[in-house]
C-alpha cells in the first residue's frame, strides 16, 4: 500500500523531465576527475579537511572516480580563500555562546569539453560553545569541515547550472 502513495510523486518527477543536480554536474565534468586542493600556508590543517570533503563529494555526489591528471576527463583545483568565525549569540552576561563559521573556497576547473572557469563558493555552519570559553580545536575543525561540505555543495549547484544552460542550448 505504501508504494502506491509515492506513485503520483514519482510520476510527477518523471513526466516533468526532472533530472537531479548530479546529472548536470556529471554532464559537465564526466566520469574521471582529477582533484587538487592547494595547501593554505596560513591554515594547513584545514586543507586536509577540505581535501577529504572534496574527495567524498566527487565519489558520492558526482558518482565519479578520482584519477591521475593524465587519465582525467576534467580537473578541479580548490583553494581555501578564507575561514571566518563570527559570534551570533550571547548569554545574559554578554559572553559569546554560539558562532557561525564561514568557509570561502575558490574552485578552478577544466571541464570535459576543455572549457576553463572558476567558481567561488561559501559554506556556513553554526555551533555552540560553553559560556566564557574559547573555541576548542575539535569544535573548530568540525565547524570548518561542515562549512566546507556546504561550500562544496554550493559549487556543485553552480556547476549544475552551467550544465543545465549547456543542455538547453
Mean pLDDT of the chain: 83
Can you give the pLDDT at residue 103?
94
Domain with residue 43: its CATH number is: 3.30.160.150
Tell me the C-alpha distance between 116 and 130, whole Å: 45
Can you give the pLDDT at residue 5?
62
Which domain covers residue 50, as residue numbers?
Answer: 21-168
pTM of full prediction above 0.85: no
Cell matching residue 36: 587538487
How far is residue 52 from each of residues 20, 97, 122, 133, measured CA to CA in Å? Answer: 23, 29, 17, 29
In the predicted model, what is the mean pLDDT of residues 95-110? 94
Kindly state whether residue 4 falls inside one of the protein's structural domains: no
47 and 37 Cβ atoms separated by less than 8 Å: yes
Domain count, the chain: 1
Condensed to tens digits (0 to 9), the pLDDT of residues 124-154 reads 999 999 877 788 888 998 999 899 989 988 9
Kindly state whether residue 135 falls inside one of the protein's structural domains: yes
In 3D space, the residue among 114, 146, 155 whose CA is nearest the CA of residue 24 turns out to be 155
Kindly state whether residue 2 falls inside one of the protein's structural domains: no
75 and 42 Cβ atoms separated by less than 8 Å: no
Kindly state whether residue 1 falls inside one of the protein's structural domains: no
Range name among 23-27, 48-52, 103-107, 112-116 with the lowest pLDDT average: 23-27
Amino acid at each position: 500500500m505504501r508504494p502506491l502513495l509515492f506513485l503520483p510523486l514519482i510520476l510527477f518527477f518523471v513526466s516533468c523531465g526532472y533530472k537531479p543536480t548530479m546529472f548536470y554536474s556529471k554532464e559537465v565534468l564526466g566520469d574521471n576527475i582529477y582533484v587538487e586542493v592547494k595547501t593554505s600556508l596560513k591554515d594547513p590543517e584545514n586543507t586536509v579537511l577540505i581535501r577529504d570533503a572534496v574527495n567524498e563529494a566527487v565519489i558520492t555526489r558526482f558518482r565519479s572516480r578520482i584519477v591521475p591528471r593524465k587519465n582525467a576527463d576534467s580537473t578541479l583545483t580548490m583553494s581555501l580563500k578564507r575561514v571566518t568565525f563570527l559570534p551570533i549569540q550571547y548569554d545574559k552576561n554578554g559572553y559569546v555562546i554560539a558562532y557561525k563559521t564561514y568557509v570561502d573556497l575558490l574552485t578552478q576547473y577544466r571541464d570535459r569539453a576543455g572549457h576553463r572557469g572558476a567558481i567561488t563558493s561559501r559554506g556556513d555552519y553554526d555551533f555552540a560553545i560553553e559560556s566564557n570559553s574559547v573555541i576548542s580545536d575539535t569544535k573548530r575543525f568540525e565547524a570548518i569541515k561542515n562549512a566546507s561540505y556546504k561550500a562544496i555543495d554550493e559549487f556543485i549547484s553552480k556547476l549544475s547550472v552551467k550544465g543545465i544552460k549547456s543542455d538547453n542550448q
